[in-house]
Chains A and B, each alone.
Chain A
Amino acid sequence: MATKNITENAHLAIIGDEDIVTGFLLAGVGQKDKKKNENFLVVDSKTPQSKIEQAFKTFTTRNDIAIILISQKIADEIRFLIDEYTQVIPTILEIPSKDHPYDPTKDSIMLKVKRMTGSD
């Protein structure tokens, strides 16, 4: 049995449109402290791409985040960052949003699985 350094009280991070974020906050995953560190980012049509990149980088470097849920539409915008990403934890899950149905050909996990199994 490997000795594991366990982090308790880890969070999910959410990057998505307002409906996604509101829903997951409703489930009770929201976290916000006095330094205004949030574990979610609401992205609308006015949000600049630099802000999304910044949030993604903060979420991946924070050590108390286990999973990053990102809307597939937003993931497309920062695809180069996600392709560069090699860490195992936090894991990045691409989720569909209300206006953009899920596209398995763009999903990084599906691509990874296909590459590993060697099937098309």
Chain B
Amino acid sequence: MGLKSLGELQYPEYMKSNVNITMPKVVNNLLDNGDDDDYITVHYNKPQLDVNTSSNNNNNNSSSTSTSSKNTSRRRNVNTSTNEINTSKNSIPLDTLNSNGNNDDNDSQGGGSGNGNTPTGYDDSDEEDEEKKKRKLKYKSDPIYWFGVMTPPTLKQSQSHFKQAVNLSIEISNKLIKLELLHQKYLQISNDVDKNNEIK
């Protein structure tokens, strides 16, 4: 996958930042913004938003697939009770389905194997593909998944802290820019005053 190591961390070779910063190209004459202090603004990129929405969707999807998998498991139970021949084939996917309740990440895999083995498999392959795509996008866009699938809560906490730090640094930069512009204005005015004094 073209991963490079940064210490122990594996990070992708091409990165696109999730943070979208808007800044003015030319800073001169910006002081007449009035009360608007936001020279630099930040908002999180659409992929980031997509992550949130897709994660919600994923939750919905996973719940729906889990219910559907429950349905199929019921069907399979019926199958196993009626067709004793199929029990040997069904035993493995049933195990995976049981584990699905514990781990949502295995949903697609378990469903896929179930699809291959049972003739009564559900027709959610398209939905699953979408879900896989969304999940892929989620893995790609959120850097926390560089650290693996099961990330500890402390890591998530530190991620949110660093996001806070980004927002804070934007705030500080705005203050800094305003300070600089005020300083320039002050120098200009004091120069004018000096000239006036010389004329007098």
Question: Which of B7, B18, B29, B183 sits near A18, CB closer than 8 Å?
Answer: B7
Within 8 A of A (CB), among B1-37: 6-7, 9, 11, 13-27, 29-30, 32-33
Within 8 A of A (CB), among B180-198: 180-181, 183, 186
Chain A min CB distance to B56 (Å): 19
B27 cross-chain contacts in A, Cβ below 8 A: 88-89
Q: Is B33 within 8 A of A1, CB to CB?
A: yes
Q: Tell me the complex Cα distance, A25–B16, Å.
A: 10
Using known A-B contacts A4-B30, A22-B7, A67-B170, determine if residue A27 contacts B19 with beta carbons closer than 8 Å.
Answer: yes
Question: Which of A30, A34, A116 sits near B143, CB closer than 8 Å?
Answer: A30
**Does B176 belong to the interface (CB within 8 Å)?**
yes
Q: Tell me the complex Cα distance, A93–B174, Å.
A: 11
Q: Tell me the complex Cα distance, A9–B19, Å.
A: 8
Q: Is B24 within 8 A of A12, CB to CB?
A: no
Q: Is B25 within 8 A of A5, CB to CB?
A: yes
**Does B166 belong to the interface (CB within 8 Å)?**
yes
**Does B142 belong to the interface (CB within 8 Å)?**
yes
A67 cross-chain contacts in B, Cβ below 8 A: 21, 40, 169-170, 173
Q: Is A93 within 8 A of B172, CB to CB?
A: yes
Q: Which among B74-82, B88-96, B157-165 touches the partner chain?
A: B157-165
A75 cross-chain contacts in B, Cβ below 8 A: none
Q: Is A88 within 8 A of B177, CB to CB?
A: yes
B183 cross-chain contacts in A, Cβ below 8 A: 112, 116
Chain A min CB distance to B129 (Å): 26
For B17, B143, B179, which residue has the most chain A Cβ atoms within 10 angstroms?
B17
Using known A-B contacts A33-B14, A93-B172, determine if residue A4 contacts B144 with beta carbons closer than 8 Å.
Answer: no
Q: Is B159 within 8 A of A66, CB to CB?
A: no
**Does A42 belong to the interface (CB within 8 Å)?**
yes
For A10, A25, A28, A30, which residue has the most chain B Cβ atoms within 10 angstroms?
A28
Residues of chain A touching chain B, judged by Cβ–Cβ distance below 8 Å, are 1-2, 4-12, 18, 21-34, 39, 42, 63, 66-67, 69, 88-89, 91, 93, 95, 109, 112-113, 116
Residues of chain B touching chain A, judged by Cβ–Cβ distance below 8 Å, are 6-7, 9, 11, 13-27, 29-30, 32-33, 39-40, 44, 48, 142-144, 155, 158-159, 161-163, 165-166, 169-170, 172-173, 176-177, 179-181, 183, 186
**A89-B23, A113-B179 provided; 7 other pairs, C-beta below 8 A?**
A12-B21, A23-B162, A29-B18, A31-B17, A66-B40, A89-B24, A112-B179
Query: Can you give 15 A-B contacts (C-beta < 8 A)?
Result: A1-B33, A2-B29, A2-B30, A4-B24, A6-B24, A10-B22, A23-B158, A25-B15, A25-B143, A32-B13, A32-B14, A69-B169, A88-B180, A95-B169, A113-B179
